[in-house]
Structure 1
Amino acid sequence: MKHYITKALLLLAGAVYTQTSQAQQLNSSKFMKTPESIIPFQQGYFITDLGAGGDPSAKDGNGVIWKMDKKGQGTVFATGLDAPKGTAIVGHTLYVADVDKVKGFDVSTGKQIFTLDFSATGTLLLNDLTKKDEHTLFVSASDINKIFTIHLDAGGSYEALKLQSDVRGANGLTYDATSGRLYACGFGSLKTQDGLIGYIDLKKQPDTFIPLSERKGFYDGIEMTANKKQLVISDWVSFEKKGILLLLDIASGKITTVKAPLMNGPADFTLSGNTAIVPAFLDADILRIPLN
C-alpha cells in the first residue's frame, strides 16, 4: 500500500509541475504597475501601463508606455499618459487608446505626433485597437458598448459602427482581412460574467454582432492564430487570480481552455508563434504561455 501511495504522490507532483511549468515570467523586474496591453516591436515589446492605482478611466497623468527587451528589462518610451490601454502600429507610429483619446507616438523617438479626441461620444474607456489597413484602425469603447472606425488620414476622424445590437463591454478586437470579419469580445457589465465572443462581417450590411458561442465571461484580449482557424481569448473569470486563456474553433464554436496556471487579470495579449505573451494586469507581470 505504501508503494502505491508513494507512486501516486509522485505522479501528482509530476502533474502539478507540468501544469505550473507552462508559464514563464518574461519581465526581469517589477518595473510596471498595471500593464494592460503588449505589442511586439523589433526585438522586444511595447507595453502600456496604467500606472499606480490602475484606474482605467482616471485622467491622472501617471500612465506610461514601456519598451521591454528580450532580457525582460524595461525602459521608459513615453510618459504623461492617463490610462493607456490597447495598441496598434501603423508605419512608424504606435497608436494607443488613452481614456477618451487615441494618441500616436513616433516609434523611434517616443514623441507624440497624433491625437484624436473622442470626448464628444461620452466615453472614458477607449480600450483595444486593431489595424484594418495602413489608413484605418478600429477602437472599442467599453463603457458605452461601441466600436469605432478610425480614419488616420487628414489629421484623423472617426465614426461608430452602426451595430444592430451593442457589444456589451466591447473590449478585445482583431481584424481578418481575408474574411472581412472584425472579431470582438466583451468584458460585459462588470457586475456579472456576461461578455460574449463574436464577429462583425464588414462585407455585409447592416453591421451585426454575431456571437460564436453562448459562453459568457469577463473577456479582454482576442487574437487569431496564424492558420486562421482559431481565436485565442483571455478571460479574467473574476477579479482574483483565476484568469485563463481560451481557444475557440471558428468553424464549430467549440471552446477549450489552455492548460496553464491561473492568471491575475489576463489583459490584452499578443501571439508569438504558438505562444501567448500575456500581461497579468493585477500582478504587474508579463507571462509567456504555450497554447498547446
Structure 2
Amino acid sequence: MKTLIASAVFAAIGIAAIPPAQAGELWRATGLEQPESALFDATNNRIIVSNIVGNPGEADGNGYLSVLSLDGKMVTRHWTGGMDAPKGMAISGGKLYVADITKVRVVDLASGKLLSSIDVPKAVFLNDMTSDQAGKVYVTDMLADAIYRIDGDTPELLVKDAALASPNGVFADGDRLIVASWGKGIKPDFSTAEPGGLLSVDLAGKVITPLPGAQKFADLDGVIAIGDTIYATAYMTGTLYRYKAGGTPEVVAQFKPGSADIGTDGRSVIYVPLMNEGEVAALKLD
C-alpha cells in the first residue's frame, strides 16, 4: 500500500518512480555523529566525513571530521577537531575547505591539521562547498539566498538573489554551478511553503537559470554531477534523485529522512550521508 501511495504521489508531481534496486548498496559505515557531508578525496583514496554533533546552527565546538576507507571502514574517527557544525567540503590546492556556520575552515589535506578559519562577512548559515578547475572554492549560504566565492583566503559575494530559493547543494560543472535549492518559505521544522529544485548559475554572467522539468519538486540538500546526469538528495524524505536535461527527476534510491550532502568518485559510486542514522551509505550506480 505504501508503495502504491508513493507511486501516486510521484506521478502527481511529475516525477518518475524508479526501483531503488537500480542503485545497489555496497556498504554502510556506522558510528558517525550527524554526518552531513561525505567527500571523495581522490589524492589519498579515502572519504572525508563531516560530523555536526549537535545543533547545525550552534557554535558549540563539538564538530569534527572523520576519515573512511573506500570500503567503508573507519580509518580515523576524530581526524580534525576545532569545529562547530561542519557541513559541506571542497578540495583545492592541497587544502580542504569546510563550511562551518559563518566561517570556512581550512585544513591541510595531508595531515588533517586545522590551518586557519576564513570569516565570511554577513554569512548566516554556510552549507555546501565545491571547487572549480581553476581552484576557486564556492560555498552556499542557505538562509541568506547567497553564494560566495573564495580565491585563496579571500571570500567575495558571487550572487545573492531570492531566485536561489535557499541554496543548499552546489557543484562546479565547467563554466557553471549546479545548485540544489531547499525551497522558499522555510518553516520551523524546515519544511517549506514551496519546495526547491535544480538551478544553474553561470560563472561569467552570474545568471541564474532554473533547470527545465526540475522545479518545485523537493527540499533538496546535496548535489553532484556524473557526466550528463545530476544527482540530488531530498533531506526531508530521504530520497535520492537523478536528472538529465530535457527530462524530469527520477527516484534512484530511498532512505529514511536525513540524506544530506552526497559525494562521488566521479565514475559510478555515490556516498550518501544519512545524518539522522549516523551512517554513510555507498551506492553503486548501474
The structure where strand makes up a greater share of residues is 2
The within-5 A match list for 1:273-284 is 273-284=267-278
User: Quick check: 38-47 or 184-193, which moved more?
Assistant: 184-193
Contact 1:25 1:285 in 2 (8 A): no
Residues 165/145 of structure 1: CA separation in 2 closer, same or farther (3 Å cut)? closer
- The CA distance in 1 between the partners of 2:147 and 2:211, in whole Å, is 15
Query: Cα deviation per residue 1:89-111 (whole Å; 9 max; x = unaligned)?
Result: 11221110011000111122222
Q: Aligned letter for 1:158? A: P
Contact 1:274 1:290 in 2 (8 A): yes
| Counterpart for residue 268 of structure 1 | 261
Q: Aligned letter for 2:165? A: R
- The CA distance in 2 between the partners of 1:271 and 1:21, in whole Å, is 13
Query: Cα deviation per residue 1:230-286 (whole Å; 9 max; x = unaligned)?
Result: 1011112x3xxx311111112x0422111x342331111112322211110110111
1:46 paired with 2:48, answer: yes
Task: Quote the offset at 1:181 in angstroms.
Answer: 1.4
Contact 1:246 1:257 in 2 (8 A): yes
Task: Quote the offset at 1:126 in angstroms.
Answer: 0.4
SS of equivalent to 2:116: strand
1:184 paired with 2:179, answer: yes
Query: Cα deviation per residue 1:68-120 (whole Å; 9 max; x = unaligned)?
Result: 123512412111210000101112211100110001111222222232102x3
Contact 1:163 1:207 in 2 (8 A): no
The within-5 A match list for 1:64-75 is 64-71=64-71, 72-75=73-76
| Counterpart for residue 198 of structure 1 | 199
Residues 196/18 of structure 1: CA separation in 2 closer, same or farther (3 Å cut)? closer
| Counterpart for residue 169 of structure 1 | 166
Q: How many residues align?
A: 256
- The CA distance in 2 between the partners of 1:247 and 1:187, in whole Å, is 16
| Counterpart for residue 12 of structure 2 | none
Match of 2:90 among 78, 82, 88: 88
Residues 280/33 of structure 1: CA separation in 2 closer, same or farther (3 Å cut)? same
Q: Aligned letter for 1:184? A: V
| Counterpart for residue 109 of structure 1 | 111
Q: Aligned letter for 1:144? A: A
- The CA distance in 1 between the partners of 2:206 and 2:45, in whole Å, is 41
SS of equivalent to 2:164: coil
- The CA distance in 2 between the partners of 1:96 and 1:254, in whole Å, is 32
| Counterpart for residue 249 of structure 1 | 244
Q: Larger Rg: 1 or 2?
A: 1
| Greater RCO (CA < 8 Å, at least 6 residues apart) | 2
Task: Quote the offset at 1:20 in angstroms.
Answer: 10
1:158 paired with 2:155, answer: yes
Contact 2:145 2:162 in 1 (8 A): no
Task: Quote the offset at 1:164 in angstroms.
Answer: 5.2
Q: Which runs of 4+ in 1 moved over 4 A?
A: 17-21
| Counterpart for residue 3 of structure 2 | none
User: Where in structure 1 are there 5+ consecutive unaligned residues?
Assistant: 1-16
Contact 1:22 1:261 in 2 (8 A): no
Q: Aligned letter for 2:259? A: P
- The CA distance in 1 between the partners of 2:88 and 2:20, in whole Å, is 32
Residues 263/274 of structure 1: CA separation in 2 closer, same or farther (3 Å cut)? farther
- The CA distance in 1 between the partners of 2:280 and 2:198, in whole Å, is 24
